[in-house]
Amino acid sequence: MSEPTFEEELRPPYEEGVLLDVRGIRTYFFTEEGIVRALENVSYKVYEAKTLGIVGESGCGKSVSALSVMGIVPDPPGKIIEGEVWYRGEDLRKKSDAEMRTIRGNKMAMIFQDPMTSLNPVLTVGDQIMEAIRLHQEVDLQTARENAIKIMDLVGIPSAVDRVDDYPFMFSGGMRQRVMIAMSLSCNPELLIADEPTTALDVTIQAQILNILKAIRNEFNMSIMLITHDLGVIAELTDYVTVMYAGYIVEYASTIELFKNPMHPYSIALLGAIPKPDTRKDDDLTIIPGAIPNLITPPPGCRFHPRCSHTMDICKKEITKLRQVAPQHTVRCHLFNKYPVAEVEEYTEKMRERYQREQLEEIQTKKFKRRLKKFIKGRE
């Protein structure tokens, strides 16, 4: 019997310790230009009190994946064509709009890349946090205000008592993101979905926001789904990683496993593209040749094949299933179907050699992780 694929592995209806279980989601956008095949058979799990990272270049389908979970894919033009979103043993796709609004308010919260677009410019930040609190708790205005100040304090907004009556434009980008995090925490969610929460911020502030997310995860035992194109952020904060390419999950592993033993050629290339701690800005970066395909007319077969240096004939015709290569590690690549798992290791060794040998060797060592941590700390 062949080994189970990740999708098959996901079949049990409810698994202890799994908060979110996304199964075979396909989301398309029906536009005038054609059908954008944004998500194809996407499956992943978020465990209780753990952080799942979703990583990939821009346009891979990371945000659409989050919107699909939250039930807020813009329709039209978007539609979830098929798939299930299980949350604590219930399929959210079967819920009504009203039920989903309640779930979004009470169980899941989402923070976005650009906090300004999610804040109301004509209301004070205090009013907005208080509104979020009163939506979920029956408390009077005074208590809501006190709680708002407490949460602002918690996310590191200095002099929260004074700043509670300020308007969003009076806050810097980093402080606005803290306000957004405060609002998302006000309903005490079980799952926080953070979509590129640090991308719009400068590096010093990025590190501070990451530290806040870390503190939240540890203090509240919250599950976090962290979407980013930055593997440095993944290394800092996540327990598991899903690597996405052009609408498909191409690799899933524990974070340590992915950094130690990346297998999919795209993951290996992404890891090769991490700036080294001593890299000067815009210097020496490994850029993955080529670009993400247009998802209206994606390449047939493996969508990565035009950019892959291992492309075989079959890659241009067929997309393969995710194949389990280790207990917490699945890969979608023909290389791993063609060869027995035992030989896969040898193969990845060869692949690694092709991609910036020195950089990758460094990535595979603990030293790299230490240096990366130091590098990120150094940004603070």
Ligand X SMILES: Nc1ncnc2c1ncn2[C@@H]1O[C@H](COP(=O)(O)OP(=O)(O)O)[C@@H](O)[C@H]1O
Q: What is the smallest separation between the CB atom of 63 and Mg ion, expressed in angstroms?
A: 3
Q: What is the smallest separation between the CB atom of 258 and ligand SF4, expressed in angstroms?
A: 16
Give the range of 61-69, 177-185, 325-333, 340-348 binding Mg ion by CB under 5 A: 61-69
* 68 is a site residue for Mg ion (CB under 5 A): no
**What gap in Å lies between CA 169 and CA 74, rounded to an integer?**
27
**What gap in Å lies between CA 184 and CA 116, rounded to an integer?**
14
What pairs with residue 110 in β-bridges? 193
The interface with ligand X within residues 12-31 (CB under 6 A) comprises 29, 31
* 38 is a site residue for ligand X (CB under 6 A): yes
Which CB, 64 or 315, lies closer to ligand X?
A: 64
Which CB, 35 or 123, lies closer to ligand X?
A: 35
**What gap in Å lies between CA 160 and CA 152, rounded to an integer?**
6
**What gap in Å lies between CA 347 and CA 300, rounded to an integer?**
24
Q: What is the smallest separation between the CB atom of 105 and Mg ion, expressed in angstroms?
A: 23
Which CB, 160 or 302, lies closer to ligand SF4?
A: 302
Q: What is the DSSP letter of 6?
A: H
Q: Count residues near ligand X (CB under 6 A).
A: 16
**What gap in Å lies between CA 258 and CA 271, rounded to an integer?**
9
Of these, 80, 103, 295, 322, which contacts ligand X (CB under 6 A)? Answer: 295
Which CB, 207 or 333, lies closer to ligand SF4?
A: 333
Q: What is the smallest separation between the CB atom of 213 and Mg ion, expressed in angstroms?
A: 17
Which CB, 228 or 286, lies closer to Mg ion?
A: 228
Of these, 41, 63, 68, 356, which contacts Mg ion (CB under 5 A)? Answer: 63
Of the candidates 354, 198, 358, the residue with the CA atom closest to the CA atom of residue 288 = 354
Omega of the bond leading into 76 within 30 degrees of 0 (cis): yes
Rounded to a whole number of angstroms, the distance between the first and last alpha carbons of the chain is: 52
Which CB, 276 or 332, lies closer to ligand SF4?
A: 332
What pairs with residue 182 in β-bridges? none
Q: What is the smallest separation between the CB atom of 78 and ligand X, expressed in angstroms?
A: 6
As given in the structure block, the two tokens for residue 118 are 């999610």
Give the range of 8-16, 56-64, 79-87, 351-359 binding Mg ion by CB under 5 A: 56-64
Provide the mask over 58-87, with x wherever binding to ligand X is found by CB under 6 A and - wherever it is not: xxxxxxx---------x--xx---------
**What gap in Å lies between CA 11 and CA 4, rounded to an integer?**
10
Q: Count residues near Mg ion (CB under 5 A).
A: 2
What secondary structure does DSSP assign to 11-36, as a single string? -SS--TTEEEEEEEEEEEEEETTEEE
**What gap in Å lies between CA 212 and CA 13, rounded to an integer?**
34
What secondary structure does DSSP assign to 188-209, as a single string? --SEEEEESTTTTS-HHHHHHH
Which CB, 18 or 66, lies closer to ligand X?
A: 66
Torsion angle of alpha carbons 340, 344, 346, 352, nearest 10°? Answer: 160
What secondary structure does DSSP assign to 241-296, as a single string? EEEEETTEEEEEEEHHHHHH---SHHHHHHHHTSPPTTPPTTSSPPPPSS-PPPSS
Which CB, 76 or 327, lies closer to ligand X?
A: 76
- Residue 309, burial from CB neighbour count under 10 angstroms (0-12, 13-18, 19+): exposed
The interface with ligand X within residues 346-365 (CB under 6 A) comprises none
As given in the structure block, the two tokens for residue 308 are 């892959």
Q: What is the smallest separation between the CB atom of 16 and Mg ion, expressed in angstroms?
A: 31
Chain residues binding ligand SF4 by CB under 6 A are: 265, 302, 304-305, 308, 310-312, 315, 333-335
Residues recorded for the chain: 380
Q: What is the smallest separation between the CB atom of 196 and Mg ion, expressed in angstroms?
A: 6
Q: What is the smallest separation between the CB atom of 264 and ligand SF4, expressed in angstroms?
A: 6
Chain residues in the site for Mg ion (CB under 5 A) = 62-63
Interface with ligand X (CB under 6 A)? 29, 31, 36, 38, 56, 58-64, 74, 77-78, 295
